[in-house]
Amino acid sequence: MHQELNISGMWQCMPDPDNIIENSINNYMVYKANEQPWHDIVVPAHWQQAGFADHQGVMWYRRLFMVPARQDDISYYLHFGGVDYFAEVWLNGHYLGAHEGDFDAFSFRATDALRFGRENELIVKVTAALDENPERKAIAKGGLYHWDCLPVHQQGLTDCPEVPSAANEQYPNPLVNPGGIWQDVVLQLRPTVHLTDIRVTPYLADDYKSARVYVNVRWNNDSAQEADYALAVRLVPHNFVGDVTTSCDDLFAPPGAGSQMMRLAIANPMLWWSLGLGEPNLYRAIVELTCGTTVIETKEITFGIRDIRIEADWSVYVNGKRLFIKGNNYLSDQFLSLMDEVKYERDVQMMLDAHMNMTRLFAHAEKEEFYRLCDERGLLIFQDLPFQWGYRSDGEFINRAADISRRFVERLAHHPSIALWCCHSESRMHDYNKLDAVLMETVQKADPARPVHKNSVLIDQGGLPPFFATWDDFAAYVPKHLSVNWVGWYWGKIEDAEQYNPLFVTEYGTQSLPGVASLRKFLAPDELWPPDMNAWRKRGFQNVICEKRTGELPDSLEELVEQTQNYQVAFYKAHTEALRRRKYNNVNGVLQFHFVNTWPAIDWAIIDYYRRPKKAYHAIREAFAPLLLSFTGNVERTVDAVQVTMEAWVVNDEYREYEGLEIAYRLLDMDGAVLEERIVLAPLIEEDSVRCFDRAVLTLPTSGDVYRLEGVLRDREGCIMAHNDCMLRTHGKAEEIETAADVKAGL
């Protein structure tokens, strides 16, 4: 670890919304800073959370700090944990450099610019502006900036919002771009020759009995002389008891920067397993830089040894074991500076309590604490890069985006919980053909050990096309290959769930209102009831679609909360169970959209911003149960009777068998009268399986259109292992249902 002087705390700032203060010849903010009318601001924080809620554009930061006397053989670096989004840095009038990107730390060598034993002046120009054309964005912040789950300007949506033009008034244009120095700033004291980074890449043998671990050590020699040192690497068990693997090598360090690759072999490694398959065993790679018997510096990183494969049909294997994916889409907070380990622990635990084994980080990176928790708990991550919707397609931006993507992957690649990279969320055609092609190539080079997917909402057997020659080709392809399942929201009905059989679902859900207590925390009394739809739409609410799906506006706010939350429950129950009954019969995983509100919003989340679960959270928890009893069926009317088909299924996601169970279930009409009771044996429920254990067809001399199935799965002693119910209605025929193509859903 380096010695550090933390210079976070109370800084000064100056808003510059139109970026007019700096002049190329006379930069008064830097060279006459004492004459400027500065304001106080806390660092670290996004400025919107530190007294400047409505500011967008440029913010100048200033910090005065003392530095002790200079130490021999020490290099001094200014280290920024995170700045959102563009940063330029001056120290005592010396321009140190610039950085783009909110997600990664960066440093500048400051030795020559420091005033030792005296006061120093640090000036940072931070830029986070709103794009004039959000469909052609020039910054790579993904879901933290431009997303319909953030503060947006939109009209009442009458169709799917993924329309290909920001000129369309329905398009959700951003209102807030988080900005500021949002992580700590420190002055680091480093040895003249020091370690800058460690990259660890493990490769597991096909028989899982041995592994090769490549450790890439990066270093700087800030002196003008060559240096002869040694590197020692130890691979140490982190959360289990086991053997230590070591390796040593000479390091010849000429002046400047360099790297050295070391390879270590581990026999019978302890593997990292995802939740439900085994223990998430972790190692630490500890690197020591030594000169003779003196340890100059030590640096370490945690990693796991595992093999994750995603086949052409989207079947997922962890260390050779197949896994059905059940998860969510997640973005903790639009202002990541508000998140900490305690808050992440709460969110991750709620995911695990709902039997989720994967979370998709929607077009962004979370803080390091989140990834550490996922590594330790065995929660897989579907990791998006920070690209959402449309971007500039010129070479200058594409080159910047490639650099951002490389740094993004390098920052996170050591985490075993990351199962795959996804280059772009809902990219437009102009991005798909140019930007996304470069992103794919960049990510594959940066991390050849992981699967890489091109577009989050498109899935095809064996991969996506490299490009589309015409708009008509693109428009025809998209609806047929969508991995989003909005059946019952943007198109179709909830009952149409039985007609869908996708390879993998990256998003599915409906909107609902948070509870009344939460609504009262962020809506003014005159906005609450009757609803001020302009205020509600800013919060993401799609009132036109909601009324179409859930019914007309009721007489009270409490009734509307109940109405929308009940619809969301019905959606998740029907779709999740239908998709799980198709386990491995095409369907390999489902990710609900989305887990928590990223700000006080009215949208698709199943947990509101204040972490109060909606009804749908509990519905998902039941539908994701490892051992699921599920009913389905159909109602068909004939001239003088009704024919009812009913089926009893068991889905087992566990790697254990169940023997000697039975299913007891019954059919009721809507008055509660029992029309049929059945008990069927389930003598063997195989591990990681799905099976229909009973199918019956009844002809009833009634006129009902809706019936209810309810039942239990129990063991020989009568202990209930699972229970469920189902409403039976007439299913639409496949050729009659409304599809994404019918509503011209596009990108």
Tell me phi and psi for residue 484, to 5 degrees: -95, 140
The CATH number, out of the four listed (3.20.20.70, 2.60.40.10, 2.40.50.100, 3.40.50.1000), of the domain defined by the range 192-303? 2.60.40.10
Summarize pLDDT for 654-703 with one digit per residue, the tens. Answer: 999 999 999 999 999 999 999 999 999 999 999 999 999 999 999 998 77
Q: What is the average per-residue pLDDT within 520-542?
A: 94
Q: What is the average per-residue pLDDT within 454-468?
A: 92
CA–chain centroid gap for 216, Å, is: 27
Which of 513, 542, 629 is CA-nearest to residue 161?
542
Q: What is the pLDDT of residue 166?
A: 44
Tell me phi and psi for residue 663, to 5 degrees: -110, 125
Q: Is the N-terminal amide bond of 414 cis, ω within 30° of 0?
A: no
Q: Is residue 290 a contact partner of residue 296, using CB atoms and an 8 Å limit?
A: yes
* Side chain identity, residue 717: E
738, pLDDT greater than 90: no
497, pLDDT greater than 60: yes
Q: What is the pLDDT of residue 732?
A: 74
To the nearest whole number, what is the mean pLDDT of the chain?
94
Q: How far apart are CA 101 and CA 593, in angstroms?
A: 26
DSSP state letters, 181-231: E-S-EEEEEEESEEEEEEEEEEEE-TTSSEEEEEEEEEEEE-SSS-EEEEE
Summarize pLDDT for 573-598 with one digit per residue, the tens. Answer: 999 999 999 999 999 999 999 999 99
Q: What is the pLDDT of residue 164?
A: 43
Tokens of 1: 């670890």
CB-neighbour burial class of residue 235 (10 A; exposed 0-12, middle 13-18, buried 19+): buried
Q: What is the pLDDT of residue 156?
A: 60
- Band of pLDDT at residue 167, cut at 50, 70 and 90: very low
Q: What is the pLDDT of residue 24?
A: 65
Summarize pLDDT for 314-326 with one digit per residue, the tens. Answer: 999 999 999 999 9
179, pLDDT greater than 90: yes
| Bridge partners (DSSP) listed for residue 170 | none
Summarize pLDDT for 563-576 with one digit per residue, the tens. Answer: 999 999 999 999 99
Q: How far apart are CA 527 and CA 419, in angstroms?
A: 43
Which of 116, 126, 144, 56 is CA-nearest to residue 84?
126
Summarize pLDDT for 365-389 with one digit per residue, the tens. Answer: 999 999 999 999 999 999 999 999 9
Q: What is the average per-residue pLDDT within 13-23?
A: 89
Among residues of the chain, what percentage have pLDDT more than 90? 84
Q: How far apart are CA 35 and CA 50, in angstroms?
A: 23
Summarize pLDDT for 421-454 with one digit per residue, the tens. Answer: 999 999 988 899 999 999 999 999 999 999 999 9
599 Cβ contact list (under 8 Å, min separation 6): 150, 151, 333, 334, 609
Q: Is residue 16 a contact partner of residue 59, using CB atoms and an 8 Å limit?
A: yes
Tokens 């129990």 sit at which residue?
714
Q: What is the average per-residue pLDDT within 274-292?
A: 97
Q: What is the pLDDT of residue 158?
A: 58
Q: Is residue 723 a contact partner of residue 138, using CB atoms and an 8 Å limit?
A: no
Distances (CA, A) of 477 to 97, 427, 462, 508, 747: 45, 14, 15, 20, 11
Q: What is the average per-residue pLDDT within 15-28?
A: 83
**Would you give the end-to-end CA distance of the chain in angstroms?**
47
| Bridge partners (DSSP) listed for residue 256 | 221
Among residues of the chain, what percentage have pLDDT more than 70? 97
Q: What is the pLDDT of residue 157?
A: 60
* Side chain identity, residue 587: V
Q: What is the pLDDT of residue 733?
A: 78
Q: What is the pLDDT of residue 347?
A: 99
Q: How far apart are CA 474 and CA 711, in angstroms?
A: 46
With vertex at residue 82, the alpha carbon angle to CA 77 and CA 86, rounded to the nearest 5 degrees, is 95
Q: What is the pLDDT of residue 163?
A: 46
**Would 192-303 and 627-728 be classified into the same CATH topology?**
yes
* Side chain identity, residue 282: L
Tell me phi and psi for residue 375, to 5 degrees: -60, -45
Cβ count within 10 A of residue 582: 16
Q: What is the CATH number of domain 3-141+177-187?
A: 2.60.120.260
Distances (CA, A) of 543 to 15, 510, 552: 36, 12, 10
Q: Which residue has the higher pLDDT, 172 or 352?
A: 352
Q: What is the pLDDT of residue 152?
A: 79
Cβ count within 10 A of residue 701: 7
Q: Is residue 537 a contact partner of residue 155, using CB atoms and an 8 Å limit?
A: yes
Tokens 């920070």 sit at which residue?
386
Domain boundaries, the chain: 3-141+177-187, 192-303, 627-728
Residue positions counted in the chain: 747
Summarize pLDDT for 57-92 with one digit per residue, the tens. Answer: 999 999 999 999 999 999 999 999 999 999 999 999
* Class (C level, CATH) for 627-728: mainly beta
Q: What is the pLDDT of residue 702?
A: 77
CA–chain centroid gap for 65, Å, is: 38
Summarize pLDDT for 588-633 with one digit per residue, the tens. Answer: 999 999 999 999 999 999 999 999 999 999 999 999 999 999 999 9
Q: What is the average per-residue pLDDT within 384-396?
A: 95
39, pLDDT greater than 70: yes
